[in-house]
Amino acid sequence: MDDTLIAECRQMLALIQMPEAKLLRLPESWERYRRAGLGREGLNRRATFPAESASLTHMPSGNPALSLDDIFISPRALTPPPTRRARFLSSFFPWRRQSHLATLNWGDLYNETDGQYAGAAREMLESGQWLTPTNDGIPRLQKPLLLYWAIAISLKTFGLTTAAARLPIGLAIVASVALTFLIGDRLGGPWRGFLAGLIHLCSCGTFLLGRIVMPEPVFSALIAGAIYCAIRGYERRRGRRGWFFGFWICAALACMTKSLLGLVYPAALLGLLSCFYREARCVSGGAAQLGRYPDFPPHRRALANLAGAATSRISLLTSRSGSGLIHLAGQTDASHSYDNVSRHVFLGAAPRLVVSVDDCNSSRRLARLATRSAPTRNRDSRMPFRFAGSRSCSSRSSSSGNDRITTR
Amino acid sequence: MNSESPSVDVEVQVMFFDTDCGGVVHNIAYLRFIETARTLLAEQLGMKLVEMAETRQYPVVVRTEIDYRRAAKLGDCLRIRGWLDRLDRARFWCALRDSPHLG
């Protein structure tokens, strides 16, 4: 480190064309600098100033200048005109309308899953029992309630039709395509976002699985929403609390659609991010704030409607994983006959069995245990996890924060 | 920095208007020094001020990171060394260092 150094600075610049503020590519003539080794890594990696061995890549905070933040979610050089995003989004609409919304009433509900969800929603509507979905009067507790509610509301609004049963799924596909675009737009610009949305929209799985009444399309839309909110929260300090709040809302709704997977997927993604990102690692304890996460009272109340905790555990066990084990043992009943499916397909049931036994209680216990070691660092620059616990930690957190997550 | 990368050295003397009531260079003044060096660096890169005004293509600063290590004082002669640090397709980074001019 040079003791005489007074200040060191690094500035990012972009080339624009005025007055429309159009972002330009750098001149072709600059290619020679790139060829000379001046690529994305920067010269600082091997700076050769004689008396200045301290490279700018290592700022006093210890963060590398070329952080994941720089290459992954660095801010836009210039914010594109607001109409551009609207144009891209609206360009999806005719395709989505034709491929998903206009075809909602094509064909009857045709498979087991369709009937189970739509039938349970219909019974929910008829019985007025909004907390315990039933099929032929038998409680159906494999999945949380959000999808049943959505289908039931749709059935109530538009009548008992197949299109009404599929409408929440169609809307979820529309939302997930839009969110895919927005995520891509944030990470790589509008054209990449457009291509990402287009690929998602045109993929075979989106079309086929998006026509089955099941929670996955809604779940994926909510996970996409959570990711989008997390990215927006990362990008700017302004409105960060709101975006992180949105992250949790989406994760909560995803949990109400497909149980704790709504937390597992965002946590896995952000955990992956923390592998590369120092600040994220510093707040790994923040994940423990899951223990303070609202635990979906309606769903739990529905479970409590059964006769006692033991019954609910047995129900979870049999409905989630037991069916797979029963198939594995070759003891399926007539209504669940999969004779033409190889038994090894159901081998995945064994680990699920372990996970599903009393999953709610054990996960909360673990989360509370981990909460004890939650860090008390700068709150604003935290992972979305942090936001969930910010209320509890506010008394011991400082309110200062960087505009970006990176500490330099 | 390798020999082919554009760089610039600028000498600046600290004037009264660069200092604050503490007698040291105000933090914003460093950015002005840096801007001078960066503008000269841009000329080396083919972006002369007059040409930019004609073509209406301007480099705009979208992010600044600066670490203040020591205070410069009134009358100090500073050397600002700047170089092109990193290139993307649409963005580039300039690195600049202020140090006392010892020559």
Q: Has residue B3 got a pLDDT over 60?
A: no
Which pairing describes strands A134-135 and A138-139: parallel, antiparallel, or unpaired? antiparallel
Higher pLDDT, B49 or A188: B49
B74 touches chain A (CB under 8 A): no
**Chain B: closest CA distance from residue A60 (Å):** 8
Residue positions counted in chain A: 408
Q: What's this model's pTM, rounded to 2 decimal places?
A: 0.48
Higher pLDDT, B82 or A287: B82
Residues B65-97: tens digit of each pLDDT = 888 988 999 988 999 999 888 887 778 888 888
Name which of A180-189, A256-265, A300-309, A399-408 the model is least confident about.
A399-408
- Across the interface, whether the CB atoms of B1 and A23 are under 8 A apart is answered no
B4, B62, B96 member nearest A9 (Cβ): B96
Minimal-distance CA residue of chain B relative to A46:
B1
Provide the 10 A C-beta neighbour count for residue A305. Answer: 14
Angle between helices A190-202 and A82-96 (to 10 degrees): 10
Distance from CA of residue A314 to its chain's centroid? 30
For the ranges A64-73, A392-401, B30-39, the maximum mean pLDDT occurs at B30-39
Q: What is the mean pLDDT of chain A?
A: 66
- Across the interface, whether the CB atoms of B57 and A30 are under 8 A apart is answered no
Local confidence band at A128 (pLDDT 50, 70, 90 cut-offs): confident
Minimal-distance CA residue of chain B relative to A2:
B99
Name which of A25-39, A104-118, A197-211 the model is least confident about.
A25-39
Could you give the ipTM of this predicted complex?
Answer: 0.89
**For residue A60, cis peptide bond before it (omega within 30 degrees of 0):** no
Local confidence band at B25 (pLDDT 50, 70, 90 cut-offs): very high
Higher pLDDT, A56 or A6: A6
- B 6-45 residues with CB < 8 A to A: 6, 30-31, 34, 38, 45
B56, B71, B91 member nearest A18 (Cβ): B56
- Give the pLDDT of residue A397: 34
- Give the pLDDT of residue A339: 56
Residues of B in contact with A6 (CB under 8 A): 30, 68-72, 78, 98-100
Local confidence band at A384 (pLDDT 50, 70, 90 cut-offs): very low
- Across the interface, whether the CB atoms of A15 and B72 are under 8 A apart is answered no
**Mean pLDDT on A147-160:** 90
Higher pLDDT, A295 or A159: A159
**Mean pLDDT on A208-235:** 86
For A203, B27, B41, the CA distances from B68, given in Å and listed in that order, are: 52, 8, 22
Residues of B in contact with A43 (CB under 8 A): 1-2, 5, 83-86, 95
**Mean pLDDT on B32-42:** 91
**Mean pLDDT on A222-244:** 83
Q: Has residue A101 got a pLDDT over 80?
A: no
For A49, A387, B68, the CA distances from B82, given in Å and listed in that order, are: 11, 40, 16
- Give the pLDDT of residue A261: 86
Residues of A in contact with B84 (CB under 8 A): 33, 38, 43
- Across the interface, whether the CB atoms of A15 and B87 are under 8 A apart is answered no
- Give the pLDDT of residue A405: 31
A62 touches chain B (CB under 8 A): no
Residues A187-197: tens digit of each pLDDT = 777 888 888 88
Residues A22-49: tens digit of each pLDDT = 888 888 888 778 776 665 444 443 333 3
Q: How many CB pairs under 8 A join A and B?
A: 177
**Chain A: closest CA distance from residue B70 (Å):** 5
A71 touches chain B (CB under 8 A): no
Residues of B in contact with A66 (CB under 8 A): 86
- Across the interface, whether the CB atoms of A5 and B97 are under 8 A apart is answered yes
Residue positions counted in chain B: 103
A399 three-state secondary structure: coil
Query: Do the beta carbons of residue A324 and residue A352 sit within 8 Å?
Result: yes
Q: Has residue A333 got a pLDDT over 80?
A: no
B69 touches chain A (CB under 8 A): yes
Residue identified by tokens 């069916």 is A323
Longest pairwise C-alpha distance within chain B: 43
Instruction: Select the residue from A8, A30, A404 to test the B interface by mutation, using most B Cβ atoms within 10 A.
Output: A8
- Give the pLDDT of residue A380: 42
Residues of B in contact with A12 (CB under 8 A): 61-64, 91-93
- Across the interface, whether the CB atoms of A42 and B90 are under 8 A apart is answered no
Domains for chain B: give ranges and CATH numbers: 7-100 (3.10.129.10)
Helix (H) / strand (E) element for B38: namely helix B27-44
**Mean pLDDT on A84-111:** 73
A239 three-state secondary structure: coil
